């Protein structure tokens, strides 16, 4: 859901008891002398609660100044049908809000791509502004790098005093445990500089997060699930652990309200992009010079295309009828290859493109080449499935592909090189 800061899936110890105590009265959290702490469970629970509250207070006080409120503006044509009928039509300003946070002393701000995306989700918004905690005035920001497939973006404010830049330390999302504290910061429903608290509910969710192009289907990737309240406007804000380290970037929610035709809101199931994914991508974003950073590629062109208007859209074999696949002697599911780029990782691994093209009503398919049916043991039926297997890889990493060729399957290893990241 671009423009309101969150994409929605369906469719972010003191005792204080005074100086005087009566005989046998014991402060909360302190066990009676000579008795183990466990003998007073109510007191122990209250003491733990106070410690947890103080920890949250300390984390927020120290790191909330590193939170950034982001607003965007896009000038779009009015959709007034009467004005369009008579060749007129006025422009209107479409506004959006979201969150972000400083990641270094240079002032780089990490956020979600959909927070700063332009009209229809393509490219960057025409105007991006940021405002810091305790400041009334916003300052303009420019794009350093965009990564639609990861739903991440890096922006930098212009003319901001260096003393106002307060980076939040980045943690290690690979070491997360279910049940540990999670603190979400952001601007739910435009209520900037808000904080919610919960736990890490799961570390192993696989959900569609990024965009296969400037829009389109999300690319399935690993996500952190949390019950810390995340709402529209929280997107791009940090998810912190009890040490104040960023463990994720708030990005999506599951919201039954959307199915009922309402506004997306927290149902206790929110998702964050693991910070390690962002850390791996950060150098590429910083070197993007305002451009787009893509997921790694192996050098193949899909060979099954469905016609959509004037353009062809790559699809998987599951879109064809079983009878059609039997006649063409193709497997039930898979990614058909049209061609393989010379000198690419796919070419060095021996992948082969099609030798002929057969057109049919509504599209065309390349025949005579390979069909990728799995990547690292996971089924592949579309280009997004292959991208999901590659998205967190680095130069030198390998991926094992299962290929279908002339009725037989075989495994090949593809090694990513520098060209995969250009």
CB 173 within 8 A of CB 275: yes
User: In Å, what is the CA distance from 72 to each residue of 2, 5, 209, 294?
Assistant: 11, 10, 21, 23
Tell me the β-bridge partners of 367: 356
114 in active site? yes
Helix, strand, coil % in the chain, rounded to nearest 5:
25, 35, 40
Q: Which of 114, 255, 370, 420 does the annotation list as catalytic?
A: 114
Torsion angle of the four alpha carbons 108, 109, 110, 115, in this order, in degrees rounded to the nearest 10: -140
Q: How far apart are CA 248 and CA 241, in angstroms?
A: 9
Q: Burial letters for 374-393: b for 16+ Cβ neighbours within 10 Å, e otherwise? A: bbeeeebbbbbbbbbbbbbb
Q: Which of 99, 201, 235, 339 does the annotation list as catalytic?
A: 235
Neighbours of 25 (CB within 10 A): 8
CB 237 within 8 A of CB 14: no
Q: Which of 71, 99, 108, 151 does the annotation list as catalytic?
A: 151
235 in active site? yes
Q: Which two tokens stand for residue 377?
A: 């043991």
Residues annotated as catalytic are: 114, 151, 235
């Amino acid at each position: 859901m671009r423009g309101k800061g969150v994409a929605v899936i369906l469719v972010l110890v003191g005792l204080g008891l005074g100086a005087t105590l009566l005989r046998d009265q014991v402060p909360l959290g302190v066990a009676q002398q000579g008795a183990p702490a466990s003998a007073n469970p109510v007191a122990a629970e209250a003491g733990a609660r106070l410690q947890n509250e103080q920890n949250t207070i300390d984390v927020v006080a120290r790191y909330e100044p590193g939170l950034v409120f982001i607003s965007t503006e896009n000038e779009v044509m009015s959709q007034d049908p009467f004005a369009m009928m008579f060749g007129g039509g006025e422009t209107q300003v479409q506004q959006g809000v979201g969150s972000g946070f400083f990641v270094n002393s240079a002032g780089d701000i990490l956020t979600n791509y959909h927070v700063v995306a332009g009209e229809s989700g393509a490219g960057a918004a025409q105007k991006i502004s940021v405002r810091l905690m305790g400041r009334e005035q916003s300052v303009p920001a420019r794009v350093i790098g965009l990564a639609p497939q990861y739903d991440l973006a890096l922006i930098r404010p212009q003319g901001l005093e260096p003393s106002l830049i307060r980076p939040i330390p980045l943690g290690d999302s690979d070491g997360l445990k279910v049940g540990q504290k999670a603190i979400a910061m952001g601007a739910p429903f435009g209520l900037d500089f808000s904080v919610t608290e919960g736990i890490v509910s799961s570390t192993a969710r696989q959900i569609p997060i990024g965009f296969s192009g400037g829009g389109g289907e999300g690319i399935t990737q690993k996500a952190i699930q949390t019950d810390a309240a995340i709402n529209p406007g929280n997107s791009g804000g940090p998810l912190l652990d009890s040490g104040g380290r960023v463990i994720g970037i708030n990005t999506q929610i599951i919201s039954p309200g959307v199915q009922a035709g309402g506004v997306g809101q927290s149902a206790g199931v929110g998702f964050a992009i693991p910070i390690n994914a962002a850390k791996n991508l950060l150098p590429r974003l910083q070197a993007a010079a305002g451009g787009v950073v893509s997921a790694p590629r192996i050098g193949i062109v899909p060979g099954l295309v469905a016609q959509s208007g004037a353009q062809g859209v790559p699809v998987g074999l599951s879109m064809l009828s079983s009878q059609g696949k039997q006649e063409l002697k193709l497997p039930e599911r898979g990614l058909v290859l049209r061609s393989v780029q010379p000198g690419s990782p796919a070419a060095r691994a021996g992948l082969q493109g099609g030798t002929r093209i057969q057109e049919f009503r509504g599209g065309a398919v390349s025949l005579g080449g390979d069909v990728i049916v799995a990547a690292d043991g996971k089924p592949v039926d579309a280009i997004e499935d292959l991208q999901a297997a590659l998205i967190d890889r680095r130069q030198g990493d390998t991926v094992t592909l299962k290929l279908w060729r002339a009725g037989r399957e075989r495994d090949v290893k593809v090694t990513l090189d520098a060209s995969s990241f250009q």
